[in-house]
Amino acid sequence: MPGSSGNGAVTRSTLRQQIADALRDEVLAGRLQPGQAFTVKEIADQYGVSATPVREALVDLTAQGLLEADQHRGFKVREYSVADFRGLVEARTLVTDGMFHALGKGHQGFRDPDDPRTAAALAGVRRRGEEAQRAATAGDLTVLIGYDLRFWRELSSLYGNVYLSDFLHRLRVQSWVCAVQRLRRLPDLRGRLWAEHTELVDALARRDTDTARAIVAAYNAHALALIEKLAVE
């Protein structure tokens, strides 16, 4: 029946996304290591599901740059280089610079900063930033990544362009995948992770885009210096 077929498609699509999300979290947590290979069957058996949604999830993650297709083993976790990280940082900087420029020029796509709904949205982003800062200060990388991704997703959504928000989110996920491949080696991350999320929100709330750019530039310089240092240790 059409109704049952539709429900089945929705269920499979949801399962596909759940598997993709779970595997992405495994990569970010370092439980799936760079270069580690696996087959569709292995993942299907691990989660107790059929091969179809697993294969679709793995293809999605490959398109997002987290996995690579391996003709011998199926798929493997992508290994990122320091050059890859530099490229990702440059790409996400171009996106955020464009967003800040649009805000400074009063671009119609950006929500009006004087609108109470925007103020409420910024307050929510700031709360996410506070949680990210606490995690960064404590050196809790797993918690930090979760809140940091939510922080930038919600912040970029203020621009009002879902395509831009999705693109920046993908860049930030890839950046974290690249970074954790090195950060997970450190026994103690306290005091080594960027924690100025709320300062960035406050600058944007004031429409102080120059300060916002300076904060992001300092963040990028800090991240690059840390990853480059770890690459040679």
pLDDT in tens, 92-117: 999 999 888 877 665 544 556 567 77
* Domain containing residue 30: CATH number: 1.10.10.10
Same domain, 155 and 203: yes
- Of 224 and 3, the structure prediction assigns the larger pLDDT to 224
Number of domains in the chain: 2
Same domain, 97 and 25: no
Stated pTM of the model: 0.85
Same domain, 113 and 219: yes
Same domain, 62 and 100: no
Name beta bridge partners: 67: 77
pLDDT band at 143 (very low <50, low <70, confident <90, very high): very high
Same domain, 86 and 67: no
End-to-end, the C-alpha distance of the chain in Å comes to 61
Same domain, 104 and 61: no
- Which residue, 77, 109, 130, sits at the end of a domain? 77
- Which residue, 24, 59, 77, sits at the end of a domain? 77
pLDDT per residue over 42-88, tens digit each? 999 999 999 999 999 999 999 999 999 977 779 999 999 999 999 99
What rounded mean pLDDT belongs to the chain?
87
Sort strands 37-38 and 67-70 into parallel, antiparallel or unpaired. unpaired
Distances (CA, A) of 216 to 102, 154, 158: 16, 16, 17
Question: Which residue is associated with the tokens 């599901």?
Answer: 49
Same domain, 71 and 52: yes
Same domain, 54 and 97: no
- Of 33 and 131, the structure prediction assigns the larger pLDDT to 131
Name the strands in the sheet holding 74-77, side by side, starting at the edge strand that comes first in the sequence: 37-38, 74-77, 67-70
- Which residue, 54, 77, 100, sits at the end of a domain? 77
Same domain, 127 and 86: yes
* Domain containing residue 156: CATH number: 1.20.120.530
Same domain, 17 and 129: no
Q: Which domain holds residue 73?
A: 2-77
Q: CA-CA distance, 23 to 6, in Å (whole number)?
A: 26
